[in-house]
């Protein structure tokens, strides 16, 4: 099957069909739809090697994320893939395993495959800079969600402002003593959230901004941080967590020690992943517009200027939304819609089962 046959079926010129199938913006949407329909009808598949030699484009974009198992990233990945597919571009997805060396190897491999651009969520806001700069010197690069330096285009969320809204909400609930279970500041998002928390909490309580437990973005770290907090025998009014996984780990340990959320302490997460709404109590969290972030990153990738021409670096910051649920509503007691616990410190059978699955 040739492109000329597709053109005949679509009633278009071969040149128009070629541009339409390559995702060119010079083709009207209705003509592109006709070309794609004809190609699908005939089972046409472009010879990517031949096209790459002719157009100096492989029709592929690489994406490197730090941990695909984190429920935060699949939503962005799906948005990116959908946007690229509409342009006739394929996505090559890589998981760096939150390792700077592996991240560098993956970026180098993508460059060797002559991809048309790279979307990257850097592992480390400092150590990843060399890799990001190297890639940006060869192909268009957009940093997504996380960044390693301000000289490469970026799309993400205003983390500082989002964390301020979390603390202000808790303060309106009467909280004056806070603790923050954070990730290490390797990731730019973690550093920005910690900074936002410190700034916001200083307005409402003296000293609480120093009660910070830094680890990583995992549920296990949330459990460990909660054990340390309980060992201090000084329960705060609210525990703010760097993401939902951390909050679930904290919740698991607090509940196993008979600490009621939200009766004894309020709890918040961040990212508003699917688990936030289905755990008990449902978790107050920060919802980031991930689909918009993914779409904007792809759009920006197509307009990033050649670094050699000294064009301005572009950045887009979206505003997040605070989603308030029962974990920060002191009047909502677990007994209202959840089987009551046994003696204080011992969960009932059904509750223990749910805790184990968190």
What are the tens digits of pLDDT across the range 296-351? 999 888 887 644 445 557 888 999 999 999 999 876 443 333 333 333 333 333 33
Whether 30 is in a domain gets the answer yes
Share of the chain above pLDDT 70, in %: 83
Based on the number of CB atoms within 10 Å of its own CB, is 274 exposed (0-12), middle (13-18) or buried (19 or more)? exposed
Res. 55: pLDDT tops 70: no
Give yes or no: residues 91 and 25 share one domain.
Answer: no
Give yes or no: residues 33 and 176 share one domain.
Answer: no
Query: In the chain, how many domains are there?
Result: 3
Contacts 24+ apart (CB under 8 A), 277-282: 277/325, 279/248, 279/251, 279/354, 279/358, 280/334, 280/338, 280/351, 280/354, 281/325, 281/326, 281/327, 281/332, 281/334, 281/338, 282/325, 282/326, 282/327
Give yes or no: residues 306 and 344 share one domain.
Answer: no
Give yes or no: residues 207 and 346 share one domain.
Answer: yes
Q: What angle do CA 99, 102, 104 make, to 5 degrees?
A: 110
Domain that holds residue 175: 159-287+325-357
Res. 355: pLDDT tops 80: no
Mean pLDDT of 239-265: 94
Give yes or no: residues 221 and 79 share one domain.
Answer: no
Indicate the pTM of the whole model.
Answer: 0.71
Give yes or no: residues 165 and 69 share one domain.
Answer: no
What are the tens digits of pLDDT across the range 129-154? 999 999 998 899 999 999 998 889 99
Residue 205's CATH number: 3.40.50.2300
Whether 163 is in a domain gets the answer yes
């Amino acid at each position: 099957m040739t492109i000329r046959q597709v053109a005949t079926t679509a009633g278009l010129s071969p040149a128009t069909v070629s541009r339409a199938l390559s995702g060119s913006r010079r083709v009207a949407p209705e003509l592109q739809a006709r070309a794609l329909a004809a190609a699908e009808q005939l089972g046409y598949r472009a010879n990517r090697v031949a096209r790459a030699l002719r157009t100096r484009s492989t029709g592929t974009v690489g994406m490197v994320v730090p941990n695909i198992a984190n429920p935060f990233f699949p939503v962005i990945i799906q948005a990116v893939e959908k946007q690229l597919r509409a342009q006739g571009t394929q996505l090559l997805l890589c998981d760096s395993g939150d390792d700077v060396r592996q991240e560098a190897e993956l970026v180098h491999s993508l460059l060797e495959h002559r991809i048309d651009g790279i979307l990257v969520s850097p592992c480390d806001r400092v150590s990843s800079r060399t890799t990001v700069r190297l890639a940006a010197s060869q192909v268009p690069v957009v940093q997504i969600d996380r960044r390693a330096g301000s000289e490469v285009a970026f799309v993400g969320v205003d983390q500082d402002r989002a964390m301020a809204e979390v603390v202000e909400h808790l303060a309106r609930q009467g909280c004056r003593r806070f603790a923050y279970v954070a990730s290490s500041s390797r990731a730019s998002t973690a550093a920005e959230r910690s900074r936002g928390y410190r700034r916001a909490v200083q307005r409402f309580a003296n000293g609480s901004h120093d009660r910070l437990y830094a680890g990583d973005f995992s549920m296990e770290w949330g459990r460990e941080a909660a054990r340390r907090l309980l060992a201090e025998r000084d329960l705060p009014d609210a525990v703010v967590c760097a993401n939902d996984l951390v909050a679930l780990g904290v919740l698991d340990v607090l509940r196993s020690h008979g600490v009621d959320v939200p009766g004894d302490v309020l709890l918040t997460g961040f990212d508003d992943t699917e688990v936030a709404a289905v755990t008990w109590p449902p978790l107050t969290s920060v919802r980031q517009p991930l689909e918009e972030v993914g779409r904007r990153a792809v759009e920006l990738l197509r307009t990033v200027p050649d670094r050699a021409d000294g064009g301005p670096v572009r950045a887009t910051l979206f505003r997040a939304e605070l989603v308030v649920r029962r974990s920060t509503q002191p009047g909502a007691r677990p007994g209202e819609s959840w089987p009551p616990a046994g003696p204080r410190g011992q969960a009932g059978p059904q509750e223990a089962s749910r805790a184990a699955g968190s």
